[in-house]
Amino acid sequence: MSPAPAAALLAGLAAAALLADRIVSVAAIAAVLLLVCLRGPAGRRRLYLVGALGSGLAVFLLTPFVSTIGWHVLWSGPSVPVLGRLDVTREELRNGLFQGLRLTAVGLAFAAYALLLDHDRLVQAAGFARRSVLAIALGTRLVPTLERDAAGLVEALRGRGVEVTGARGRARLVAPLLAGSLERALNLAEAMEARGYGRPGATRAPRPPWGVRERGALLLAGLLVAIGALWL
Amino acid sequence: MALASVRALSYSYPGAQEALSGCSLELEPGEVVALLGPSGGGKSTLLRALAGLVPHFHGGRFSGRVEVAGLDTRRSRPAELAGTVATLFQDPEDQVVFTRVASEVAFGLENLGTPPAEIPPRATEALAAIGAAHLSERPIAELSGGELQRVCLASVLALEPRLLLLDEPTSQLDPDGAAAAIELARSSGAAVVVSEQRPDRVLEACDRVLFVEAGRIREGEPLPAAWLPREVHLPASEPADAAVCRLGDVSFAYDALPVVEGACIELGRGEIVALVGPNGSGKTTLAKLAAGLLEPDTGHVERHGRACYLSQDPGRYLVRERADEEVALAVDGDLARSRRALAAVGLAGFEERHPRDLSSGERERLALAAVLVADPDLLVLDEPTRGVDPERKDELAALLRVQAPGRATLVVTNDLVFASEVADRCVSTGAREVALA
């Protein structure tokens, strides 16, 4: 399938997860998206899955402590300055689960977009706002690029006999990684300008025409949003 | 009439000393000009001035006049000059926009408004000309350094420019690829300005030589001895007896792609071995296997003592905020040893400098100090002469020779001149890549 309708389909699923009111609906959407993500390359998907599932879990765990909903108290804790008494109610747990699943679904939709879609063809397919689409595609590449740079840094240090271990060791790589990203971004911007980027009258390489599947996917994406808002 | 002219050009990057000083030159259509000179002498800045990137992209202080095809570069932005001028930058890794080869080559053509139907055939033709047609559908991330450099060269050749600016276009290419790339640029019909640190081939192909040093252009004067062409005699001594590292029938594959198959190599104490071979033939992988950074899928690797590995483009992988601390990482923070290592590579006085404030050549030497300081039993250097001028290469060769008796040294290189100067023997990896058309 062409990447543009596939991206629309993923966006439709993410929107449906955000619009749905029932936990079971959001959980079903997240499960579908998880299955889609598992089709991604094994070496790359781990980081995305950990990010999406981990952030959802964090929201589930933290929400009961920072919200005050409901009266079915399951656990009553100490009183903490600013936050007040730490109570966990059944309603807060339910809300935490709901918000956590929503975030997980959106994270998994992004993971599927990053892992499975051909971003080059997505940029080429953009009939309008091509510069914005290219910026998004370049932004999407930030994660794998940082991952590759981090692997390069770790390897370079291992080459000197220095092992990078533990959270502290890895945290020390953050500053050089960011500095490297900024340098790379400047070099890339210079190279793009030298190759005529931003000049009026740009054209596009021919793209394959859309078939029934592509049009159907686009229709389904719209339907998913409507279904999410009205019935889920 | 000249295609391009530079008159009394002086330029300083923001907050820096003058990079170009009173430079003047004229370029005729179709001529090939070699731009030689030491690292940091102003070659890349001159190329950027011809592309309009100086001053438009970099800012700074600019005086004088640069005209290309009748366009004043101060009035025309680089994007407007694109197509008339095409630039290949030093680091191929930093100029890639897309994730697949075919899209990357098509990018410039799309920006220039090439009719859509012409884009795929022109991209394919450019890739075929540089011997990279088989890479067309490959993801960029899977290419070797040399393969990526070919793709970047195809991207600029596809534009069919009138002025082609090449900044070290062969730094990662194997010798056959380098010769073919220079010949291809020469036969493109464009005026070509090519900056090179491996001058032999470009000196054979060029019509004129400009030597750029300390921001000034010298023309018509004899070249310094280090820049003159040298004969290549690949050494073939017998392997040393005391093996520090032995690879026996080693194979390795990235995912399903086999890169090294049944390789055997032995590195003895006191010898320097040059590992040469075509781009994509597994030299870097073999070097990493020797250094213990990769484990073989089959076969065995035997290693005695400490191994250190200096990666390609090591200036990218510096993590500390002071040069001496960076070097001291490998010796548990011993700053005295670190300072001695810095002095050995000519960086005495740079101890407190931030590594990212150093020039690219200085960064490479800093990274070299960061492995030499550990005094390893096995030293593996992956393309240590990339971006290094001939005078520095001679210094590097001398340094490695002086330190050679205490260790085994493996140097992965496409620079056969350097290999013949530094190595006791050469080992070649098999041919994998299709030769240039």
Give the neighbor-by-neighbor strand order of the sheet with B191-195.
B85-88, B163-167, B191-195, B32-36, B208-213, B216-219
More confident residue, A4 or B63: B63
| Cβ neighbours of B155 in A, within 8 Å | 195
Nearest chain B alpha carbon to A119: B99
* Per-residue model confidence as pLDDT tens digits over B320-346: 889 999 999 999 999 999 999 999 888
A185 has a chain B CB within 8 A of its CB:
no
Across the strands, what pairs with B7?
Answer: B65
Going by pLDDT thresholds of 50, 70 and 90, the confidence category of residue A230 is confident
Going by pLDDT thresholds of 50, 70 and 90, the confidence category of residue B35 is very high
CA distance B181 to chain A (A): 20
- Would you state the pLDDT for residue B28? 94
Nearest chain A alpha carbon to B375: A160
Spatial separation of the C-alpha atoms in residues B327 and B342, rounded to whole Å? 8
Q: What is the mean pLDDT of residues A45-72?
A: 88
What one-letter code names the amino acid at B392? R
Residue A116 has pLDDT above 70, yes or no: yes
Going by pLDDT thresholds of 50, 70 and 90, the confidence category of residue A34 is very high
**Does residue A196 contact residue B112 with C-beta atoms inside 8 Å?**
yes
Residue B434 has pLDDT above 60, yes or no: no
- Would you state the pLDDT for residue B432? 43
| Cβ neighbours of B57 in A, within 8 Å | 189-190, 193
Q: What is the mean pLDDT of residues B232-249?
A: 84
* Per-residue model confidence as pLDDT tens digits over B172-182: 888 888 888 88
- Nearest residue to B187 (alpha-carbon basis) of B155, B170, B164: B164
- Would you state the pLDDT for residue B192? 95
pTM of the model: 0.82
Contact between chains at B95 and A205 (C-beta distance less than 8 A): no
Percentage of the residues of chain A whose pLDDT score is greater than 90:
32
Within 258-317 of B, beta carbons closer than 8 Å to A belong to: 288, 291, 293, 306, 308-311, 314, 316-317
Q: How large is the greatest C-alpha to C-alpha distance in chain A, in angstroms?
A: 66
Q: Where are the beta strands (DSSP E) in chain A?
A: 73-80, 84-89
Judge if the upstream peptide bond of residue B55 is cis by omega within 30 degrees of 0: yes
Reported ipTM: 0.85
Nearest chain A alpha carbon to B122: A205
**Does residue B226 contact residue B390 with C-beta atoms inside 8 Å?**
yes
Going by pLDDT thresholds of 50, 70 and 90, the confidence category of residue B297 is very high
* Per-residue model confidence as pLDDT tens digits over A187-208: 999 999 999 998 888 888 887 7
Contact between chains at B80 and A162 (C-beta distance less than 8 A): no
Paired tokens of B422: 């530094």
- Would you state the pLDDT for residue A214? 79
| Tally of CB atoms within 10 A around B352 | 10
Percentage of the residues of chain A whose pLDDT score is greater than 70:
98
Going by pLDDT thresholds of 50, 70 and 90, the confidence category of residue B429 is confident
Mean pLDDT for chain A overall: 85
- CA distance to B236, B390, B425, B426, per residue, from B233 (Å): 9, 17, 10, 10
Mean pLDDT for chain B overall: 89
More confident residue, B263 or A85: B263
Going by pLDDT thresholds of 50, 70 and 90, the confidence category of residue B63 is very high
Contact between chains at A204 and B309 (C-beta distance less than 8 A): no
Residue B241 has pLDDT above 80, yes or no: no
Contact between chains at B113 and A124 (C-beta distance less than 8 A): no
SS (H, E, C) chain A: CCHHHHHHHHHHHHHHHHHCCCHHHHHHHHHHHHHHHCCCCHHHHHHHHHHHHHHHHHHHHHHHHHCCCCCCEEEEEEEECCCEEEEEEHHHHHHHHHHHHHHHHHHHHHHHHHHHCCHHHHHHHCCCCHHHHHHHHHHHCHHHHHHHHHHHHHHHHHHCCCCCCHHHHHHCCHHHHHHHHHHHHHHHHHHHHHCCCCCCCCCCCCCCCCCHHHHHHHHHHHHHHHHHHHCC
More confident residue, B246 or A171: B246
- Would you state the pLDDT for residue A128? 67
Q: What is the mean pLDDT of residues B299-319?
A: 89
- Give per-residue burial for B67-86: e unless 16+ CB within 10 Å, then b: bbbebebeebbbbbbbbbbb
Contact between chains at A196 and B112 (C-beta distance less than 8 A): yes
Tokens 């011809």 correspond to what residue? B50
Looking at residue B238, the DSSP 8-state letter turns out to be P
CA dihedral B77, B81, B86, B89 (to 10 degrees): -10
- Would you state the pLDDT for residue B433? 37
- Would you state the pLDDT for residue B346? 85
- Would you state the pLDDT for residue B74? 92
CA distance B231 to chain A (A): 33
CA distance B376 to chain A (A): 9
Give the A:B interface size as CB pairs under 8 Å: 156
Contact between chains at B100 and A192 (C-beta distance less than 8 A): no
A124 has a chain B CB within 8 A of its CB:
yes
Percentage of the residues of chain B whose pLDDT score is greater than 90:
58
- Would you state the pLDDT for residue B437? 29
- Would you state the pLDDT for residue A127? 65
Q: What is the mean pLDDT of residues A76-91?
A: 80
Contact between chains at A193 and B57 (C-beta distance less than 8 A): yes
Going by pLDDT thresholds of 50, 70 and 90, the confidence category of residue B435 is very low
Residue B307 has pLDDT above 90, yes or no: yes
- Would you state the pLDDT for residue B195? 94
CA distance B10 to chain A (A): 21
Q: Which of A65-69, A96-100, A120-124, A130-134 has the highest mean pLDDT?
A: A96-100
CB-nearest partner of B319 from A173, A184, A192: A173
Residue B348 has pLDDT above 60, yes or no: yes
Residue A232 has pLDDT above 80, yes or no: no
CA dihedral B239, B240, B244, B250 (to 10 degrees): 10
Spatial separation of the C-alpha atoms in residues B418 and B411, rounded to whole Å? 10
* Per-residue model confidence as pLDDT tens digits over B356-412: 888 777 888 899 999 999 999 999 999 998 878 888 889 899 999 999 998 999 999
B354 has a chain A CB within 8 A of its CB:
no
